[in-house]
Amino acid sequence: MHALELEKVAKEKGADLFGFADVSLFPDGKDNKRNPRYYLPDAKNVIVLGLKIVDALWDRLTGDYDVHSTNALSYLLNYNYDLLDFIAVQTARFIEEIGYDAYPVQARTMSKRENVFIGYFPFKEAALLAGLGSHGKHDMIVTPEFGPRVRLVAVVTDLEIEGEGSRRPVPRRSVEELCGNCTVCIDSCPVHALSYDNGVKKIDQRKCQGYMDVAQNCTLCQGICVKGKEAAMRRRRRKNGKVDL
């Protein structure tokens, strides 16, 4: 099946981004939860779908436990993740209807170990392999369309996919190419959980998760990221009839 047809189905259900990657690009081992064949033994491709986050919510994140953080948490839990799962399931049902198998991986597939949430499925790595964007210093996926203001879901399938979607996959950029000298996410972290030194980015997951448990849903590094603010500005310029050159 051609990628454009699959993309049309996913976007009709609400997806903002569409990409896919061959399962051979993922870590080995059918017993490895980070390998697509753990979910579907005969898998050939992983479809990665992205949903844009509403700009006004992320523009006002402060990193504190306040009305903005509680609104952001409610938005993610009661809208964003549910819609992502709906889109994934509907895409999987379409694939089933044409005679193939598809496993929709739940958007929040994770467990909590030693007070740190550990994701089972590598959504960010899948997005990289699918050409949706690159890693920033905050370790989030930064897309050309929306910066890091996206959440992801995946569908593992044994369907052969041909061609590309409506957008060409984005070549993976290094952190230096993407972020340059910008350290706004690192400097703004309320608990100093982020660092970047000599080309190596680090996240203290205990500090990050511990503060998110207190501040409901901090995600300040995502909201304050320059790439996300630039994407929001482009959208607002288009709304006002202005075109970026």
Q: Give the span between the Cα atoms of 159 and 206, in whole angstroms.
A: 39
User: Can you give the residue ranges of every domain in the chain?
Assistant: 3-239
pLDDT tens digits, residue range 34-46?
899 999 999 999 9
% of the chain surpassing 90 pLDDT: 75
pTM given for the model: 0.91
Average pLDDT, the chain: 91
Q: What amino acid occupies position 134?
A: S
Tell me how crowded residue 3 is: count the other CB atoms within 10 A of its CB: 18
Q: What Cα–Cα distance (Å) separates residue 47 from each residue in 111, 153, 157?
A: 23, 8, 8
What pLDDT, on the 0 to 100 scale, is given for residue 189? Answer: 95
Tell me how crowded residue 115 is: count the other CB atoms within 10 A of its CB: 10
pLDDT at 114 over 80: no
Packing angle between helix 3-12 and helix 81-97, nearest 10 degrees? Answer: 140
Task: From 88, 86, 84, 60, select the one nearest 217 (Cα to Cα).
Answer: 60
What pLDDT, on the 0 to 100 scale, is given for residue 211? Answer: 87
